[in-house]
């Protein structure tokens, strides 16, 4: 009875550890491996439901560092991208293309943060425009693949913020995006036939069954986060992005054979 949950539980446990440390990557880590076991749509829904707990738990200890006002442009773009992504989510033909786009985004963000330790202060208007663009791409990837991390990290890590602020604001964006995404899915399901429901009962049951693994992984990740400083966090994020880009490409190629 528990065997079908063993491998997915291990995947989401590892993803929760990573997010507890870095503030992101639960979606990327989970989706890369779970799409080898399940259909992309099922994996997306289950991961999105589990991510809500992982995000809330990881954000609780750094909630004091969230800068809601500065996140406005990023969140506005997220809502626009989410709306666009709902049209793509029901299509399986674009799954591989979207995964390759995520891999490219991972590499670009890692390269930028490795080469530039501190970004020059941008004008509020310029920073807002970049936030809107990054947010739109993040929202689209979140709704279509549950992997909105790279665009969000790209914008947030341009800010001259502390370790806690980097993690807290990354998680705040994911939390608000996740709430908006679930709301759009509920609206979709209310209008669609039962066979086309995204939040199908079987998927919700699967998410509940995997929740203990996410809870344990999040506890471990938050404990590790308390032991790292800002530079260590930045290096860990860059290394993780590169590794995930490689894993995405390899698993996508193998899946396509």
Domain range list for the chain: 3-256
118 vs 239: which has the higher pLDDT: 239
The stretch 153-180 carries a mean pLDDT of: 88
User: What confidence category does residue 3 fall into, taking pLDDT thresholds of 50, 70 and 90?
Assistant: low
Distances (CA, A) of 79 to 82, 90, 166, 187: 5, 18, 21, 14
The stretch 64-92 carries a mean pLDDT of: 80
* pTM recorded for the entire structure: 0.76
Q: What is the DSSP string of 58-121?
A: HHHTTGGG--TTTTHHHHHHHHHHHHHHHHHHT-STTHHHHHHHHHHHHHHHHHHHHH-SSPPP
Q: Distance between CA atoms of 193 and 110, rounded to whole angstroms?
A: 42
For residues 167, 172, 175 and 180, what is the CA-based torsion angle, rounded to 10 degrees?
-140
pLDDT tens per residue, range 13-54? 999 998 898 887 788 788 878 888 888 788 889 999 999 999
């Amino acid at each position: 009875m528990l065997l079908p949950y063993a491998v997915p539980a291990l995947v989401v446990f590892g993803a929760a550890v990573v997010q507890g440390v870095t503030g992101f990557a639960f979606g990327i880590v989970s989706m890369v491996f779970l799409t080898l076991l399940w259909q992309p749509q099922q994996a997306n829904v289950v991961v999105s439901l589990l991510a809500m707990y992982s995000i809330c738990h990881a954000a609780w200890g750094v909630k004091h560092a969230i800068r809601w006002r500065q996140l406005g442009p990023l969140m506005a773009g997220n809502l626009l991208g989410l709306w666009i992504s709902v049209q793509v989510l029901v299509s399986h033909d674009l799954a591989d293309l979207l995964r390759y786009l995520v891999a490219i985004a991972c590499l670009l963000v890692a390269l930028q943060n490795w080469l530039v330790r501190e970004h020059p202060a941008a004008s509020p208007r310029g920073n807002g425009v970049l936030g809107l663009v990054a947010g739109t791409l993040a929202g689209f990837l979140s709704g279509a693949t549950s992997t909105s991390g790279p665009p969000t990290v790209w914008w947030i890590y341009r800010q001259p913020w502390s370790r806690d602020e980097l993690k807290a604001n990354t998680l705040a964006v994911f939390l608000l995006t996740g709430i908006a995404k679930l709301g759009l899915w509920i609206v979709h399901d209310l209008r669609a036939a039962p066979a086309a429901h995204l939040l199908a009962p079987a998927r919700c049951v699967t998410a509940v069954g995997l929740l203990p693994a996410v809870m344990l992984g999040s506890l471990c990740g938050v404990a590790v986060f308390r032991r790292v400083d800002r530079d260590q966090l930045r290096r860990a994020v860059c290394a993780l992005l590169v590794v995930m880009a490689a894993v995405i490409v390899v698993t996508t190629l193998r899946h396509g054979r």
